Amino acid sequence: MAARILNGNAIRDQIYAELAGEVAALAAAGIRPGLAAVLVGDNPASKLYVNSKIAACGKLGLESFLITPPASISTADLLATVDQLNHRDDVDGILVQMPLPRQIDSKKILDAVDPAKDVDGFHPLNVGRLVAGRPNLVACTPAGVMEILRRSGIPLEGANAVVMGRSDIVGKPMAILLMHANATVTVCHSKTRDLKETVRRADVVVAAMGRAAMVTPDYIRPGATVIDVGQNVITDRAEAERIFANFPAKLETFRAKASVLVGDVHPDVVNTAGAFTPVPGGVGPLTIAC
């Protein structure tokens, strides 16, 4: 029996409907919140992602400001840009799209964002608040995963949860949020021994390893909830045919576009899991919404 599909687009639309009411109430009071997005250089994936965020602002009636410094910008000049945004009264939220060019000290930039405007939740003060159980602004992808789980009625209290990946952006905050929801949490990574056996004991699996289709059905306990954070572009025909052997529609997409998107979870897991987020249309829309 195939897994229940957890539709991220539908949950995003629920959130947007709720936000539209909040934005309208603020507008009635003469307030229009503003989001500034800093997009350095011409990374196509980053550009697509930031444009989606700007479009969401427009849809909801939020003000948005797109700042696009050249890829050659220095750390000092980017710090000055962030400082200007910190002091602008019309900017309530700031996001600096990652990754930044190699010559830039990314940690310095993220630390420079006013914690009260740090909508990505990357500032050490916001990370500390999250650890202390007093979250204010939380990393968007983990926050989106929690919305999927909560709004889909997935029980977390007492559940065994495995987070695959330990990045500052997803893995670490994800584990903390799950602990605050009273799950028993194991964090796995590239050095974990008996990875497959550890993951297979989980009631809830959040895969964020950045490796295409690595989580195969033998990693998953039948009936488990599987949340796929991965976003991997496949351009090799043999790899696409191997991964999507049982999904002819996906192979048609590959043949038409010469590429196809796959998560960190192998699509065959849909026949083992109890609930499953698709890629695309799962976690991605919630990251933007959050």
The domain that holds 61 is classified in CATH as 3.40.50.10860
Asked if 227 and 277 touch (Cβ cutoff 8 Å), the reply is yes
Asked if 167 and 27 touch (Cβ cutoff 8 Å), the reply is no
Catalytic residue chosen out of the listed positions 13, 14, 47, 53: 53
Task: Give the pLDDT confidence score for residue 44 in this predicted structure.
Answer: 83
Is 223 inside any structural domain? Answer: yes
Do 80 and 144 lie in one domain? The reply is no
Do 170 and 232 lie in one domain? The reply is yes
Phi/psi of residue 75, each to 5°?
Answer: -60, -45
Is 86 inside any structural domain? Answer: yes
Task: Give the pLDDT confidence score for residue 2 in this predicted structure.
Answer: 83
Do 143 and 263 lie in one domain? The reply is yes
Q: What parts of the chain have a pLDDT lower than 50?
A: none
Task: Give the pLDDT confidence score for residue 207 in this predicted structure.
Answer: 98
Burial grade of 143 (CB within 10 A; 0-12, 13-18, 19 or more)? buried
Do 158 and 215 lie in one domain? The reply is yes
Percent of the chain with pLDDT over 70: 100
Distances (CA, A) of 227 to 59, 72, 193: 27, 37, 22
- Two tokens, residue 12: 């995003």
Do 192 and 269 lie in one domain? The reply is yes
Asked if 65 and 35 touch (Cβ cutoff 8 Å), the reply is yes
The verdict on whether 53 is a catalytic residue reads yes
Catalytic residue chosen out of the listed positions 13, 42, 89, 97: 97
Phi-psi region at 165: left, alpha or beta (left = phi > 0; alpha = psi -120 to 50): left
Do 153 and 223 lie in one domain? The reply is yes
Is 36 inside any structural domain? Answer: yes
Do 215 and 160 lie in one domain? The reply is yes
Of the residues 82, 116, 150, which one is the last residue of a structural domain? 116
Do 189 and 263 lie in one domain? The reply is yes
Is 202 inside any structural domain? Answer: yes
Is 143 inside any structural domain? Answer: yes
Is 150 inside any structural domain? Answer: yes
Is 37 inside any structural domain? Answer: yes
Task: Give the pLDDT confidence score for residue 43 in this predicted structure.
Answer: 86
Task: Give the pLDDT confidence score for residue 103 in this predicted structure.
Answer: 97
Catalytic residue chosen out of the listed positions 118, 120, 203, 264: 120
- Domain span at 223: 139-283
Residue indicated by tokens 């500032």: 123
The verdict on whether 231 is a catalytic residue reads no
Asked if 165 and 208 touch (Cβ cutoff 8 Å), the reply is yes
CATH of the domain at 182: 3.40.50.720
Is 55 inside any structural domain? Answer: yes
Task: Give the pLDDT confidence score for residue 48 in this predicted structure.
Answer: 87
Distances (CA, A) of 225 to 2, 38, 149, 160, 220: 12, 35, 9, 11, 9
What is the number of structural domains in the chain? 2
Task: Give the pLDDT confidence score for residue 135 in this predicted structure.
Answer: 87
Do 143 and 268 lie in one domain? The reply is yes
Of the residues 58, 82, 116, which one is the last residue of a structural domain? 116
Do 32 and 94 lie in one domain? The reply is yes
Find all residues with CB under 8 Å of 120, minimum gap 6, and list them.
95, 96, 137, 139, 140
Do 254 and 212 lie in one domain? The reply is yes
Of the residues 116, 151, 167, which one is the last residue of a structural domain? 116
Query: What's the rounded Cα separation, in Å, for the pair 120 and 110?
Result: 10
Task: Give the pLDDT confidence score for residue 72 in this predicted structure.
Answer: 97
Do 109 and 77 lie in one domain? The reply is yes
The verdict on whether 196 is a catalytic residue reads no
